[in-house]
Homo-oligomer: A and B are copies of this chain.
Amino acid sequence: MTIDSVLTSIDSNLDASLARLFDLLKIRSISTDPAFKDECARAASWLADQLNGMGFDASVRATTGNPMVVAHAKSTNASAPHVLFYGHYDVQPVDPLALWEDDPFAPKIVEAEGTKRIVARGAADDKGQVMAFVEACRAFMANGGLPCHVSILFEGEEECGSLSLPAFLAANRQELLADCVLVCDTNMWDKNTPAITTMLRGLVLQEVVIEAASRDLHSGLFGGAAMNPIRVLTRILADLHDANGAVTLPGFYDGVDELPAEVAAQWRALDFDEAAYLGAVGLGEAAGEKGRSVLEQVWSRPTCDVNGIIGGYTGEGTKTVLPSRASAKVSFRLVGHQDPLRIVESFHAFVQARLPSDCTASFHAHGASPAIALPFTSPMLQKARVALTAEWDREAVLIGGGGSIPVIGQFKRDLGMDSLMIGFGLDDDRIHSPNEKYEVKSFHKGARSWARVLVALAE
């Protein structure tokens, strides 16, 4: 086996690889909505079948939520390192459906802006990224065998808080232990420049419900005298930021460190165009803490955002109602050593302190994970960087990531494993949005890149 034969195999089987990816994209595995529970199970079974067909020992494992897929395959080299590849088969909801140009679950290749794109919900997040790795493994196994021992863990609740994962990791610790974790849920720096993500923000997801009167009231008969929970909720949410864009929760910035000077210098050297980044989505002004660059705001600074709010009458026309309740979904992106549980406690206290006597607040937790970071001195980081540079003919850059992959923190904390985050998504892939896409080039060269990385890690 040589790397060349594997790369040639990936090249010559691209159409078949795409057809398999399309089969997976057709499965409506939306994890946050219980109506799609069977579709999630179907995606898990499909993946296990694929892996077994390639020569993995793969199985679907039940959880209290959506099932896991676990698979193992040995290298022909008994002393090779052992990697655990992690990905997820679940996807985000597709609303607002009207903004999709086509059925989100009818994947197709679209040519636009000089590139071929796979358009479908989950194309980039995370099915395309997952299958790029699977196809790399397929090429090795059809051409003499894997250079590393490879274990695989696919979960189906990444988009809704990974609620089943901690218990599953704890219960299957021995089976899942490896030398390192490979994670594919990240982006390139740009369409020509590969990247390794070395820091990711944590995430706290909270839903708060404010309730006042025991029933909806007529705003004429009661308006003025009856407390309106929307008024209470908007006051609380407005108070979460100060005029400089900083978050006002007491203790929120505990554990947030300034960036080391050398990292800050590397980020400044990146050819990042703030105006183009914001302009691409119709914006022109960085909305976070004043005096921070955009890269700091999305990579190394914590945030608070309201991801959803609803209360009262929201249909056509008007209704002069004082609603009995209003609610909001609030998320916090964490960095450094911020403690997710202390953030939750501080948020609850913040809300309670602003409640009039006639209102109650209830909370629903949808996940809480700390930020994570890979040491810049890690040998596997250096090996992977060389491999990526060879494939893309452009030096791989080390970046931060604004999104959260909670499982990485759990791998570190509970299993002691560092994660190497390599992905081939692009910033304009519209993940979580209508018309999500993944470049065919990302998929194809992604598979080739993983082949090179596996060989490099084994050296």
Residues of chain A whose beta carbon lies under 8 Å from any beta carbon of chain B: 31-34, 92-93, 95-96, 99, 159-161, 201, 203, 205, 207, 212-228, 230-231, 233-235, 237-241, 277-278, 281-289, 294, 297-298, 301-303, 305-323, 326, 328-329, 331, 333, 356-358, 366-367, 401-404, 427, 430-434
- CA A99 to CA B325, docked complex, whole Å: 14
Select A306's contact among B160, B230, B328, B331, beta carbons within 8 Å.
B230
Closest to A201 in B: B220
| Top-5 shortest CB links A-B | A220-B403, A214-B282, A32-B317, A308-B312, A238-B238
Closest to A217 in B: B281
Closest to A205 in B: B318
- Nearest chain B CB to A23's CB is how many angstroms away? 25
Establish whether residues A318 and B329, one from each chain, have CB atoms under 8 Å apart when the complex forms.
yes
For the A-B complex with A95-B315, A225-B294, A238-B239 known, give 20 more contacts whose Cβ atoms are closer than 8 Å. Answer: A32-B318, A92-B319, A93-B319, A159-B319, A205-B318, A215-B281, A218-B403, A219-B303, A219-B305, A220-B403, A224-B303, A225-B286, A227-B283, A234-B234, A234-B237, A235-B241, A285-B357, A287-B356, A306-B312, A309-B314
- Nearest chain B CB to A289's CB is how many angstroms away? 8
Given A225-B286, A318-B331, A230 and B237 contact (CB-CB distance below 8 Å): yes
Q: Is the interface of A mostly helix, strand, loop or mixed?
A: loop
Closest to A314 in B: B310
Most B CB within 10 A of own CB, among A226, A237, A310 = A226
- CA A136 to CA B369, docked complex, whole Å: 69
Establish whether residues A227 and B285, one from each chain, have CB atoms under 8 Å apart when the complex forms.
yes
This chain: copies in complex: 2
Select A358's contact among B160, B217, B241, B284, beta carbons within 8 Å.
B284
Q: Could you say which residues of chain B place their CB within 8 Å of the CB of A286?
A: 225
- CA A191 to CA B221, docked complex, whole Å: 16
- CA A33 to CA B220, docked complex, whole Å: 21
Given A309-B312, A329-B313, A358-B284, A223 and B298 contact (CB-CB distance below 8 Å): yes
Select A317's contact among B33, B240, B309, beta carbons within 8 Å.
B33
- CA A225 to CA B272, docked complex, whole Å: 14
Given A317-B33, A319-B307, A402-B221, A283 and B213 contact (CB-CB distance below 8 Å): yes
- Nearest chain B CB to A93's CB is how many angstroms away? 6
Given A285-B357, A432-B321, A427 and B312 contact (CB-CB distance below 8 Å): no
Most B CB within 10 A of own CB, among A241, A305, A322, A432 = A305
